[in-house]
Structure 1
Amino acid sequence: MRLTQTIPLSLSILWRFAFTFPVLLIGLFLYGALGGLIGALIGFIFPGTAVITAFLVSASSGVIPVMVGARFGFQSKLIRPSVGYRKLVVPAVVYGVTEAVAIGLVLAPVVGLAIVQAAPDLVELTKVPAEEWLASVGTSVTIPGLAVVCAIFVIASAARASLLVPLAAASLGRDPDGLPYTPFRNFGVEFLPLFALVALSYLVMTVLYVLTFLCVSMIVGLGTLEAGVQEIAEMIEGSAPVRPVWSIIVLSLSFVVVALWGLSLQCAGGVLGYLRLQSDRTFSHSQTQDMPAPEPRASNTGPRTSAEELRALRKSRQQRD
C-alpha cells in the first residue's frame, strides 16, 4: 500500500469530514445520549446493565467515524454503498467491542506488570516529605510508564489495522466479491501495510499536535492562550460573561483538523485494502472465464457395421476377385 495512493485519498476524505464534522459531532452526541437513556431505563429493570450499555455506546462511538470516513473514501471513488447509515450501528457495536476487549485483554498483563514494578518505589516515596515525593515520583515510574505507552501504541495500532478492511466492507454493505457483507470476513487482511499506516497516522498526529500548538502560540502568543484558558474557566464558574475566545477556538479547530486527517489516513487504508481485494478477485474471476474450453475428444459415435453386413461385404469382394 503506497503513500502516493493513501495520502491523496485521505485528503479527499478529510475535506468531506471537514464539511460534515458538525453533523457528525451532533450525531455522536445524540447517539451517546440515546444510549445513555436506554441504559438508564434498562438499569432500573436489571441493575448493573447500565455500565454494559455505556461500554457498548462508548466502544462503538470510536468506530463509527471510521465507517463514515470509509464511506467518504468509496464516494470519492464513485462507489455507492448498499446500506444506509442506520445499518452501521450494529457493526459498529460489534467491532468497537471487539477492539476494546482485545486491547484490554492484551494490555491488562502489561499494566499489571508495570504497577508491580513501580509499586515498591512508590511505597518508599510515600515515606519521604511531599516535596521530595513529587520531585521523585516521575523518575520512579518512567520505565514502567514508557512500557505501558509503547504497549498501548502497538496494541491499538494492531487492533485497528486488523479491522480496517472489515469496517470498510461493513460501511459499504457488501464484501469485495460482491456478496452481502459478512461480519469479520477478511479480518487481518493486509495487516502489515495497514499496521504501518495506522502507527504512522498516530505518530503524525502526535507530531502535528506539537507543531500546531507551537505555531498557534507563536502567532497569538503563549500568554494569550493562558489568558484564554483562564477566561474559559471563569465562564464555567459563572464569574465571567460568555463570549468567544478566538485563540482557544483556533487552537481547538487546528487540533480537530489534525485528528480528522489522522483518521482519514486510516480510512483510506481500509478502502484501498478493500479495493485491492476486489481487483484481485475480479482478475482471478476474469482469468477463469477467459481460459479456453477443453476441446471435445473424438469419440467413435458413428454408425456401427453389423456382422451380416461384414459377411456380405466379404462375399462381394470374393466374387470380384
Structure 2
Amino acid sequence: MLNQTVTERLDLFKEIYSELYSALKWKSDKRSLMLIAAMYVTNSKEFQLERFLELADYIKNEVGLFSQLRSTHRFTVAATLETTTGNPKENFSHFLDIYQKLIKNGYSRAIYSYIAAGTLLKIDPHRVEEYVQKTVDVYRGMKEHHPFLTNSGDYPLASILAASSDKNKEEMILHVEDHYYALKKIGFTIGNDLQFLSHILALNEDQNPDESAEKCLEVKTLLEKANFKSKKIYYPYIGMLSYLDQVESEIPQLYAIYDDLNNDRLFKWNKDINFMLSVLFLMSDKALLTDAATTGLNTTIEVLLQAQQAAMTASITAAAAANNSNSGG
C-alpha cells in the first residue's frame, strides 16, 4: 500500500506529465516527458507549463541553426535548468560555457556533452575549469580500462563521478574498477550496465566493494522473488536500492508504485521506465527523512536522473536510426 507522501508524488507526476503530453505529444518522445515530469517531482520543484515552454523557446532561439538544442533535447535542458538553478535563463549562458569547455578539453559535440554540462551546473563557477579537466580525465581513465564499453554515452557518468568525489583521477578509476570486478566475481553480467552500476556504488567513497557487491546481489534476489524481471538495464537501480538499510521491508512499497504506474493507461506500455521511476520515487521519499543514513540519497537521485537522460537519449537515437534505415529500404 502506498504511503501518503508517495501517493502525493505519484499524483503530481501524473499531473505534470499530462500537461506536458497535451502540449508536446507531437514534439517529444513520451519517455522523455515522463523523465522531465520525474525531474520536477523528485527535486520538489514547482512546475508551470507556460514558464517551461517559454524557457524551451528561449533555448531554441539562443543557439545556432544547426545546434542539437533546437531539437526535442531543449525540453530536457529546460527541465535541468529549472530544477537545478534559481535563474534558468541567466544560467543558460553558464551552461553553454561549461559545454564549450568540455568540447575544448576533448569531448565530442554529442548530445551527451550537453547532459554532462548539466551535471556541472552546481559547481562553483570559479572551479569549473578544474572540474571540466577532471571530468575529461576520468572519462579517459574509463576508456583505458574498458575501451570497447566506453563511449560518448558515458560522458555524463564521468562528469557525475568527477563532481561528486574529492579523489584524484587514478583513485576514482581504481575505486570504480574494484566495484566492477567485485560485482563480476559474484555473477553480475559484464557490460555497460555493470560499468554504470559500479559508478553508482563508487559514489560512496567509503564503501567496501565486496560488501556492496553482496548487498547488490541481495537486492537482485529480492526483486526476482517479488516478480520483478531480472534485466541488465536495471543494474544501476539495484545499486541505488542497495543504499537502503532494510531493503526487504521496502519491496512491497516499490511494487505498489510500479503496479500503480503499470495500471495507468498513460504509462502501461513503458514498464522498464516505470520500474526505474518507481525506484526514484521510493528513494526520493526516503531522502525526505534527512537523517544521517539518507544524506547521500539526493545526490544519487540526481545522478540517476542525469544518467537516465543519457540512456533515454541513446534508446531514442537508436530507434530513430533504425526507423530511418527501414524507411530508406
Q: Which has the higher contact order (CA 8 A, sep 6+)?
A: 1
TM-score (normalizing by structure 1): 0.30
